[in-house]
């Protein structure tokens, strides 16, 4: 193998255990690849013997980027379940969630809020029905006049 491409080896393998060999008795292709960007050695198993090993390694690296993108969507966009099952419904819901996320990121940047985007989203979701300026929700210090103001609550115990 030409190791300058990053491909370490291209092997034909057969699954060795009895259980796995019963489920997939055909030969597989094992490609070991050194990723220069991360410094990691990656192993890929495939049943595609037609494509060159570098192409298979690049396809799987791109596939991993797609997996990371969907992991990011699950962590940040708060999509619990898709409301429709058609391709158009899923795409529409993802685009709406991404658009809302970008709008909040732009708002955070324009207001100059130092909190993380996650914290900014949490505060916005908790104070969405409050009637106050957005920046007031991110103030760290409470003014003394706010402490001296009469409370709107009754005191249960007068100690």
Q: Which residue has the tokens 């249960």?
A: 156
Regarding whether 52 and 20 lie in a shared domain, the answer is yes
121 within some domain: yes
> What is the model's pLDDT at position 140?
56
Give the structural domain span for 22.
3-68
CA distance 25 to 10: 19
The two three-digit tokens of residue 64, written as one number? 């991993």
**Going by DSSP bridges, is the β-strand pair 28-35/7-13 parallel, antiparallel, or unpaired?**
antiparallel
pLDDT digits (tens, 9 = 90+) for 88-101: 998 898 898 889 88
112 within some domain: yes
Sign of CA dihedral 40, 41, 47, 48: positive
Mean pLDDT of 29-58: 90
The two three-digit tokens of residue 62, written as one number? 């791109």
> What is the model's pLDDT at position 142?
43
Mean pLDDT of 26-33: 92
> What is the model's pLDDT at position 32?
93
Q: Which residue has the tokens 């990121």?
A: 105
pLDDT digits (tens, 9 = 90+) for 112-150: 888 888 888 888 888 878 787 878 877 754 444 444 555
Regarding whether 60 and 105 lie in a shared domain, the answer is no
More confident residue, 142 or 151: 151
Q: Report the number of distinct structural domains present in the chain.
A: 2
pTM for the complete prediction? 0.51
CA distance 138 to 144: 17
> What is the model's pLDDT at position 81?
78
125 within some domain: yes
pLDDT digits (tens, 9 = 90+) for 52-111: 999 998 898 888 888 888 788 777 777 777 888 899 998 898 898 889 888 988 988 898
DSSP 31-81: EEEEETTTTEEEEEEES--SS-HHHHHHHHHHHHHHHHHHHHHHHHS---S
């Amino acid at each position: 193998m030409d190791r300058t491409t990053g491909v370490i080896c291209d092997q034909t393998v057969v699954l060795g255990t009895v259980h796995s060999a019963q489920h997939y008795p055909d030969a597989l292709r094992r490609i070991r690849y050194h990723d220069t960007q991360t410094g990691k050695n990656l192993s890929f198993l495939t049943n595609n013997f037609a494509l060159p090993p570098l192409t298979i390694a690049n396809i799987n690296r791109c596939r991993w980027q797609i997996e990371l993108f969907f992991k990011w969507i699950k962590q940040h966009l708060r999509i619990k379940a898709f409301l429709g099952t058609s391709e158009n419904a899923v795409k529409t819901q993802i685009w709406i969630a991404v658009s809302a996320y970008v709008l909040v990121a732009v708002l955070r940047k324009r207001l100059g809020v130092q909190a993380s985007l996650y914290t900014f989203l949490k505060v916005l979701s908790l104070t969405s029905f409050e009637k106050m300026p957005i920046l007031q929700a991110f103030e760290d210090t409470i003014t003394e006049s706010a402490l001296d103001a009469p409370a709107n609550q009754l005191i249960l115990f007068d100690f």
